[in-house]
Structure 1
Amino acid sequence: MLERLVDKVLGLPAAEVPKPVVTRDLVIPMPDGVRLLADRYRPPGTEPLPVVLVRSPYGRRGPMGALFGATFARRGFQVVVQSVRGTFGSGGEFRAFRQEKEDGLATAAWLREQPWCDGRLAMAGASYLGHTQWAVAPYLDPPLEAMCLGVTASEFTTAFYPGGVMALDNMLSWSAQIGRQEERFAAVPNPVRIKRTRRAMSHLPLRSADVAAIGKRVPFLADVTTHAESPEDWAETDHSGRLAELTTPTSMVTGWYDLFLARQLTDFKALQAAGARTRLTIGPWKHGEPASFRPMLADQASWLAAHLLDDRAQLHRPPVRVFLQQAATWLDFEQWPPAESKPKTFYLQPVGGLADDEPGDTAPDRFTYDPADPTPTVGGPMLSGEAKQHDNRSVEARADVLVYTRPPLARDLDVIGEVSATIHVRTSTPHADVFVRLCDVDPKGVSLNVCDGVLRVPGADGVKAVEVVLDPTAYRFRRGHRLRVHVSGGAFPRFARNHGTGDPTADAVATVPCHFEVFHDPEHPSGVTLAVFG
């Protein structure tokens, strides 16, 4: 009865096999002598079978076992859910992202030697569980039969430091989560702990923000803060260089407010360009949103069925399926971005205007960014706090935010594809960031964020053309609504503040205000470029 209820909640078809047989605490040896633990789920009956491998830092029981173990096994798959090194009973030390290639390859080799495995392997999972797939798939011979990639990417460094700026909110939130995840009652929501973690985002220096948040050190936070100025030190965790060689069929699910969205779409484009079999689904979700579980698990179950059980019924759909926000409809395309989308630039104008035409000869706009009172942000692709869309009027009212607004639209405007901005700026210090956000303003004045991006400005004198890449989107700006663009010097605590001193992110404490000039004239046509559909 409970299993049928789970299937109903997840929107999956009724299970076709009896209750799976579960073998707990399989011991899988690593080359260095460390032993990792795993649970095996299989349908009762004939062996050997292919194996779906799920490698997780979040435990192999509870939600991980229920969602990926029991649910898939009830559909005829043999599943092995493994706790990665240093987590939930597995030996060794957990060094996030840095250990998964060697351990994953050793696990795959061990599985193929077992009499109950027929030699075929696939992988499934989401987020970090997707990283563990990318850490194995490009290097495995023979290759995986299938990959099921939920809200993940072939490299995470661009999500750690988008535009060269540390994603503080996401990095500290995840550090706090993994730092206490094995404590008693850690899975129970605790408002006091949540408040303490959010307060710790203002703690300086950032290298000790983990202690401020949860009272102890978390190695990942030390890694991610220490290497903020040297992202190349994460090169061993970047598997994007092997995309063109990957032959494994891949299915991807992500959301418009997911922190890995941009990189996952880059992966999809590279695979499609290389001729690989791949498909993509993008919904109106943030990372880990419960509403995304049903479509993601259904997607992964159908992909596994096609490539392990030869049930190809659900393969007959276009490669790209996206949800058009504010239109409440799904659209199918042959590629991303869709061929029907064309770039159109809207230019910043004097007195806060935004127009189709390039500006005339006007003076620059000015504001001062003070890292001691950093420009706040609401909404966006965050793990915690006010994620997705929120009213931005309180931020827009600040003196350190420039706002440019277009007149009301005469008809609906669909934007489907990639978004970018070119902002011509001059700064009083060589250490500055530029944050650009696109908003949708309704007739009542409510200003909802759609997508945004940040860039650390190269330290050079004079006026600089700053090219900011915003997150992709599929969004309908309705008739009577207005497009709005924000320009500011930061978005805290979404991104770590730029102290204006050049001190390393991990150690910076002192602050220096930065004076900005934003130019919009014939020689410096600042604007935002949207992918207009149709």
Structure 2
Amino acid sequence: MPAPDGTPLATDLCLPAGPGPHPAVLVRTPYDRTRHRAELRGWARRGFAALAQDVRGRYGSAGRWHPYRQEAADGAATARWVRARSWSDGRLLAAGASYAAHCALVLALDPAVREEEDAAPDAVLAAVPALGAADTAREASGPERLLARAGWWAAHGDRPDSDERALAAVLATDPDALGHLPVEELPRRFGRPLPSWPALWRTGDRGRLLRLAPGSNVPLLAVGGTHDPFLAQTLALWRAWGAPAARLLLGPWGHGLTAAPGPDATAAHRLPLGPLYAAWARAALEGRLAAAPHGAVGLGGSPLWLPVPGARACARWPFGRRGGLRLLSGATFTAHPARPVRSDDLRVPVPDGPGHRAADRCLLAGPPLDRPLDLLGAAAVRLRATADTPAADWVARLTALTPAGTARHLATGVVRRAEVPGRAGDTTVPLGFLALRLPAGTRLRLEIAGHHFPAHARNPHTGADPVTAAVPRPSRRTVHPAHSALLLPAVPACRPADAVDPRQEICR
């Protein structure tokens, strides 16, 4: 299929067996269209003309790939081409997961596309959506997502195909590669040039699609996982969507959804997503969805699906007081860039004291739960703390210590803050959306640290840009327990009577 400038875009098409015309579903992907052939056959069996297209410069498509930059124009040309085919009845669903969800969303939201006749879709299915380069590169509070972006760029950046094991191969021979400074020059350790890597960190316009979402005028199905790194963006997209028929489906899944269930997923969370997507698409394209936002979330650790909650007050677990979290060690600690708290290690050091290394984090824990605890909503840490450096990242990591003695990660939040050295400041560290049941006997452990490496780049503590800084310094920290607390979205024990059927909730 020709792009607007004539560049051929490789496109697979699977048509239903019966006579047409048919509604169409379009998936545009940088991850090889041929991997979608089973999906296309599934759509076709349900009466849709199904297409998968390699984006410009990837796999079978010609041209040069510039991630996130050319998808609106190329997608609009594809939409017009689809609607002009004899097998098309003119109705078009833009669908995709991760980067492909970005391709679907720009087709619906980009102002230039919406001005073109027959270019915009009639509905959007966005699963674990990547909203844009700037949104994926950094947390909303500023810290760089080092591990995820290094892995993605090593696998896919500046090449026409992919090598999913590229970063693992680098780390196998060079375990300290991600510690390279400055971060901007990290590709020197990868063994191949990545000319687009420095530009990733200079990408601006964070939140562009979220700012455009209130102007949307087509139905949306946003799908995500409570263990997915893009969970916050999925929720924000659904909440910002302007068209009234917006639906949200969240399960206890990772980025691969039902193919990547979390440790708290149950048999009730193994939804057959293909039939559900097709049923929703039929309802959306036929105008049968109610003009109100609806959603369903799977409560991990239970078989229940529940309505997505609205904003609610959180229960406070104060630091160092009865009914809260006991301070174990590290009210004063040192965040040292040469010995950062690791994101890939849930073990904690023994309490600081004679003969032990100085504390590298503040460590707190709660008593065993005397009954199951249901958490449904946004969690956070309210923190009063002091740093002796002009810049600091504040990391809060929440872990469940199970009755069996294992540690299970629940949530991590990180906030970047400019500091007045030596002056206490108040900050809120968001921990994101939780939807899970903790069994009786579980203990909560909370760590307050200055790094979360290699998931996030290390703050040099000098005020310099962490992407270009080459000389970091240690940062001495103090947490003030009397003015700090863990905020948890505890709800009354959820019962079967509270549950919803996710299929009905999405399609009504």
Answer yes or no: same fold by TM over 0.5: yes
Q: Which residue of 1 aligns with 2:146?
A: 168
Q: Distance in 2 between matches of 1:180 and 1:294?
A: 36
Question: Following the alignment from structure 2 to structure 1, what is the Cα–Cα distance between the partners of residues 364 and 427?
Answer: 17
Q: Work out whether residues 354 and 406 of structure 1, in 8 Å CA contact, stay in contact via their aligned partners in 2.
A: no
CA distance, structure 2, for counterparts of residue 197 and residue 130 of structure 1: 34
The corresponding residue for 2:210 is 240
Structure 2 unaligned blocks of 5 or more: 262-269, 493-508
Q: Between Structure 1 and Structure 2, how many residues are aligned?
A: 469
User: Would the aligned equivalents of 2:25 and 2:51 in 1 still touch at CA under 8 Å?
Assistant: yes
| Deviation string, structure 1 residues 310-342 (Cα, Å, up to 9, x no partner) | 8x7x99x993222222x3322221xx3347x54
- Partner residue of 2:282 out of 305, 308, 312: 305
Task: Indicate how the Cα distance of structure 1 residues 116 and 198 shifts in structure 2: closer, same or farther if over 3 A, else same.
Answer: farther
Residue 222 of structure 1 is matched in structure 2 by: 198
Matched with 1:452 is: 412
Shift of 1:191: 6.0
For 1:155 and 1:309, the matched residues in 2 are separated by 30
Quote the sequence identity (%): 30
Work out the CA distance in 2 between the residues paired with 1:280 and 1:367: 41
Question: Structure 1 residues 485 and 72 mapped into 2: Cα distance closer, same or farther (>3 Å)?
Answer: same
Query: By how many angstroms is 1:505 displaced?
Result: 2.8
Q: Which residue of 1 aligns with 2:331?
A: 365
1:491 to 432, 440, 452: 452
Q: Is contact 1:376-1:395 (8 Å) kept?
A: no
Q: Confirm whether residue 474 of structure 1 aligns to residue 442 of structure 2.
A: no
Is 1:144 the equivalent of 2:139? no
CA distance, structure 1, for counterparts of residue 430 and residue 470 of structure 2:
28
1:396/1:402 contact within 8 Å kept: no
Task: Tell me the distance in 2 between the aligned counterparts of 1:346 and 1:440.
Answer: 15
Q: Which amino acid aligns with 1:485?
A: L
Separation (CA, whole Å) in 1 of partners of 2:427 and 2:136:
20
Alignment partners' CA distance in 1, 2:279 and 2:76: 25
Asked if the contact 2:366–2:445 (Cα under 8 Å) also holds between the matched residues in 1, the reply is yes
Q: Is the 1:205–1:506 Cα contact (8 Å) retained in structure 2?
A: yes
- Contact 2:130/2:136 (8 A) holds in 1: no
Equivalents in 1 of 2:381, 2:248: separation in Å?
A: 26
Among candidates 501, 504, 518, match of residue 479 of structure 2: 518
- Where does residue 207 of structure 1 map in the other structure? 184
Q: Name the CA distance, whole Å, in 1 between partners of 2:350 and 2:47.
A: 52
The answer to which of 259-268 and 199-208 deviates more is 199-208
The CA distance in 1 between the partners of 2:31 and 2:41, in whole Å, is 16
Aligned partner of 1:320 among 274, 278, 295 = 295
- 1:9 corresponds in structure 2 to none
Q: Residue 94 of structure 2 aligns to which amino acid in structure 1? A: M
Cα displacement (A) at 1:197 = 7.8
Say whether the 8 Å CA contact 2:14–2:41 is kept in structure 1: yes
Normalised by the length of structure 2, the TM-score is 0.83
Aligned-pair distance for 1:307? 3.3
Shift of 1:109: 2.4
Amino acid at match of 2:304: W
Change (3 A) 1:368 1:394: closer
Match of 1:531 among 474, 489, 505: 489
TM-score by length of 1: 0.79
CA distance in 2, matches of 1:507, 1:154: 25
Structure 1 match to 2:2: 28
Which residue identity does 1:507 align to in structure 2? T
Q: Could you tell me which amino acid in structure 2 is paired with residue 203 of structure 1?
A: H
* 1:253/1:282 contact within 8 Å kept: yes
Q: Which amino acid aligns with 1:481?
A: T
Point out where structure 1 has 5 or more consecutive residues left out of the alignment: 1-26, 380-390
Partner of 2:362: 402
Q: Equivalent residue of 1:419, what SS?
A: strand
Q: 1:11 matched to which residue of 2?
A: none
C-alpha distance after superposition, 1:360-417 (max 9, x if no partner): xxx99210011122111237xxxxxxxxxxx544699982121111222222221100
Match of 2:267 in 1: none
Report what 1:254 is aligned to: 224
Q: Does 1:127 align with 2:87?
A: no
Q: What letter corresponds to residue 402 of structure 1 in structure 2?
A: C
Task: Provide closer, same or farther for how the CA distance between residues 180 and 98 of structure 1 changes in structure 2, counting only shifts above 3 A.
Answer: closer
**Partners of 1:393 and 1:446 within 8 A in 2:** no
Query: Against the structure 1 CA distance between its residues 308 and 276, is the aligned structure 2 distance closer, same or farther, given a 3 Å change threshold?
Result: closer
1:177 aligns with 2:155: yes
**CA 1:529 to 1:261, structure 2 compared with 1: closer, same or farther past 3 Å?**
same
Q: Which residue of 1 aligns with 2:498?
A: none
CA contact (8 A) 1:404 1:484 kept: yes
The CA RMSD measured in Å over matched residues stands at 3.2
